[in-house]
Amino acid sequence: MSSRSLNPGGASRVRRRALLGTAVLLVLVALAGLAAYLTRDGKEPSKPTAPQARSAAPSSSTASPSGSPSPTSRPHALPVPPNTHDPIAFGKAAAAALWSYDTRAYSQRKLLAALHGWLTTETKYADPPSVDAVVPSPVLWKEMAANGQFATAKVNEGHFPDSFTQALQANPGTITQAYVYAVTVSGKQSIAWNGSPAGGAENRVTTLAVQCRPSHPCALAGAMPSVAP
């Protein structure tokens, strides 16, 4: 009996990842049509992630676009997706959310639920497991909560990977199938906890798949397993 027949759920996850990867490759092909969106509305980042595990966090109270966490700051709210048609602006906000968390303000389960709210409702392209992978596990969350640990993020920049741009230029029409764009975001995550003004900061970079159909605001498709420069 093959391992595939023993694990149908794993096979479906592989198929979903393959679909997402294919969409992003096609996405890699859609940069041309994106220029129009970039000149329209665009919101900026939210917040960043954790030290050993990643998560998403609140809004303006937790992570400021420029700064490190203030240990005296109030607990942060759960992350809310921006209403924008700009893939890069959305990607920056999503990265900030994935890099932020606040164990003082909410549970790990609530954070996961909030992050799932960023995902596209088109299940064919949504990859929840890739988002779950950046959030601390329940056990780790409990340990961090005991110390009141929280993380904030500063987003430096976001762009379409070169491979995506080249693919788009080669076949601009492909993007119209899924309207999924590859967006690489770089920034820094700062962590703090009870009794520590600043626990440390670390550079972050990730490539996200962002869906932006003309008739709907952007939504997250998933986090890619590797970074596309």
Q: Per-residue pLDDT tens for 97-148?
A: 999 999 999 999 999 999 999 999 999 999 999 999 999 999 999 999 999 9
Higher pLDDT, 212 or 37: 212
Q: 199 by DSSP, 3-state: which? A: strand
Q: Per-residue pLDDT tens for 21-80?
A: 555 544 444 433 333 333 233 333 333 333 343 333 333 333 333 344 444 467 789 999
Q: Per-residue pLDDT tens for 152-202?
A: 999 999 999 999 999 989 998 889 999 999 999 999 999 999 877 666 789
Pick the closest to residue 217 from 94, 123, 95, 82 (CA basis): 82
Neighbours of 215 (CB within 10 A): 6
pTM exceeding 0.75:
no
User: What span, in angstroms and rounded, lies between the C-alpha atoms of 123 and 166?
Assistant: 27
Q: Which residues contact 97 (CB under 8 A, 6 or more apart)?
A: 46, 47, 56, 57, 79, 81, 115, 118
